[in-house]
Structure 1
Amino acid sequence: MTKRARARLVVVGAINQDQIVSVPHIPLPGETVLGRSFRSRPGGKGANQAAAAARAGAEVTLVSAVGQDDAGRSLLRHLASAGVDIAHVVTDSSAPSGVALIAVSPSGENSIVVALGAAAGLDPVATAGTVATLISAGDVLLTQLELPQAVVTASCSAAGAAGARVVLNYSPVREVPADVLVAADPLIVNAGEAAALAGFPVQSRDDAERAARSLAARARSVVITLGPVGAVAYGDNQLTFCAGLPVTAVDTTGAGDSFAGALAAALGTGATLHEATLLGIAAGAATVQHEGAQPPASAD
């Protein structure tokens, strides 16, 4: 790939308001836990990844939807302050902005429930048309599975037709057509998502390497993240391991999104998959050291 000074990314994904409660432990089914603190922060996988890519130096346009409410206006202001082009975010007067309810334990682990709100109503044909007008050969489409499947499928098809690179973060785990997976370059999954796709547990680096080889038959390239251990990348018949960075985790919310955004931004400049994975690890490590999926606007 020809080297570019600055990547051009189109991100198709959700924008949510994260409602975060610190808890002594993640609640079990049917259990009530008394929270220690509460905070509200901008989030959503699409927004998180777009902001991360912008922080990594990419020119980023986000395609999504918010409600015509205070939360939506606040979320869009934050994204704009992070350097994300929000001109193609739809404001829906008939639905609220998305929300994520997040419990975070002292170790930084989390449990998340998402209600998409306005983003659930995105029209696949209209979204694909927007992507087609924004994206060109050499650009990157970055998307995830929070949005309706038809929106993801149509967006990937439009990007592929334009000759753009498709980066698919397979999260949360959902059924997607085989032609969406085969277009992914790379398919980004964590250990749990890799296990769901590969059909066997992924509990170690060896397991991840085996899973990466297996999944490479279904996608153009594969990256499996292993939390603080690092990540395994497989592309062009080459398997590489990138070690994690030693940091103290405060909150792991959004770490995978920061990884995906930074990785996609690096690929858009012509970086190799190994180089992009290293940058993704650095971005994820930075994210776990602060509360919330995105840093405050003053820190962007």
Structure 2
Amino acid sequence: MTGSGLFVGLATMDVVQLVDRLPARNEKTTGLETWLAAGGPAAVAAVAFAALGGRARLWTALGQAPAARLAAADLAGAGVEVIDVAPPGFELAVSTVFVDAASGERAVVSGSGHTAAFGKIAGADLTGIDVVLVDGHHPALARSAALAAGEVPVVVDAGSHKPVFDEIFPFSTDVICSADYVHPDWLGARTLLLRGPRLVAVSHGGRALHWWTAAASGSIEPDTVTAVDTTGAGDVLHGAYCHALATGLDRVDALRSAVAIASERVRHLGPFAWRAAISHSH
């Protein structure tokens, strides 16, 4: 059973530079390596889902600018089907990522791009879909997918709060927060559970992930690994969690599987060098 997932949200074009250290003010530095790769929370989660053998569909805005064509080719090469609903003139965001060669930690300058001003959009097509992930970056798409999901699990990638989350929490089944996530009303994990999700989890990078359901709570320790590149590790976690749900694992076992796969991701340098490794390890 491969599973099929719909990933709804942001795609970007990323310029990734491996550096000895971040440059100081008014200083130039030379990158040790440079990559151009498709990025964005929903996009990278879809790539991870596909690498694990799932059928990944990405509902996003790409457009026709040169950066968008590069991103589209990258996603196609990763086995992700893209449903591009960018309005005319849409400019894909280009982000810059610096990876510290010593620690594997990354610093990100998010691209500004253009906010997609969608006109009337067709409702989300969930035919044959086993799981939906939304990152909230394109609210109209997130809202449409969550409302159409019915019995299909809806996973919310809560890296940072988006206003649309308060509309879709009642229709979501799983909310995975970053350690930096702060709800404007200071709602904690247990309070978020009262809004509708069956599971709320908070990831902490290389430290334990904590989870809560209505009946239980717990934590999952990641494997001890030497991290060489943490870029997109949280997005890989989300894609792996979606794949585990889509293929029949229960929620806690799905989290355990996803944490292990995210730990494998950080052992590999470069935007997509981890794809083969997680495919072989699964």
What TM bracket, shorter-length normalisation? 0.7 to 0.9
Q: Which moved more, 1:276-285 or 1:17-26?
A: 17-26
- The one-letter amino acid of 2:193's match is A
Offset of 1:32 from its aligned partner? 4.2
Question: Contact 1:67–1:93 at 8 Å: present in 2 too?
Answer: yes
* Residue number among 53, 56, 72 corresponding to 2:52 in the alignment: 56
* Residue number among 194, 209, 224 corresponding to 1:217 in the alignment: 194
Q: Structure 2-normalised TM-score?
A: 0.84
* Residue number among 163, 166, 174 corresponding to 2:151 in the alignment: 163
Structure 1 100/172 Cα, relative in aligned 2: closer, same or farther at 3 Å?
Answer: farther
* Residue number among 79, 96, 99 corresponding to 2:94 in the alignment: 99
- 1:79 aligned residue: 75
Offset of 1:52 from its aligned partner? 0.6
Offset of 1:24 from its aligned partner? 4.7
Q: Structure 1-normalised TM-score?
A: 0.80
- 2:18 aligned residue: 22
For 2:201 and 2:226, the matched residues in 1 are separated by 23
Query: What secondary structure is seen at the aligned counterpart in 2 of 1:134?
Result: coil
**1:48-84 deviation line (CA, Å, top 9, x unaligned):** 0101111122211111121313332222222222221
- The one-letter amino acid of 2:132's match is L
In the alignment of these two chains, the number of paired residues is 274
Residue 185 of structure 1 pairs with residue 181 of structure 2: no
Question: Contact 2:159–2:177 at 8 Å: present in 1 too?
Answer: yes
For 1:141 and 1:47, the matched residues in 2 are separated by 13
Structure 1 298/246 Cα, relative in aligned 2: closer, same or farther at 3 Å?
Answer: closer
Query: Considering only aligned residues, what root-mean-square deviation do their CA atoms show, in Å?
Result: 2.8
Query: What secondary structure is seen at the aligned counterpart in 2 of 1:225?
Result: strand
- Note the residue ranges of structure 2 that are not aligned, 5 or more in a row: none
- Note the residue ranges of structure 1 that are not aligned, 5 or more in a row: 201-210
Alignment identity in percent?
Answer: 26
* Residue number among 35, 44, 48 corresponding to 2:29 in the alignment: 35
Q: Give runs of ≥4 in structure 1 deviating > 4 Å.
A: 23-28, 195-198, 296-300
**1:171-213 deviation line (CA, Å, top 9, x unaligned):** 23333352312322210111111x446839xxxxxxxxxx533
- The one-letter amino acid of 2:210's match is V
For 1:172 and 1:103, the matched residues in 2 are separated by 20
For 2:193 and 2:212, the matched residues in 1 are separated by 7
For 1:163 and 1:125, the matched residues in 2 are separated by 25
- The one-letter amino acid of 1:44's match is G
- Summarize the alignment of residues 204-283 of structure 1 with structure 2, pairs less than 5 Å apart: 211-220=188-197, 221-283=199-261
Question: Contact 1:9–1:139 at 8 Å: present in 2 too?
Answer: yes
Query: What secondary structure is seen at the aligned counterpart in 2 of 1:22?
Result: strand
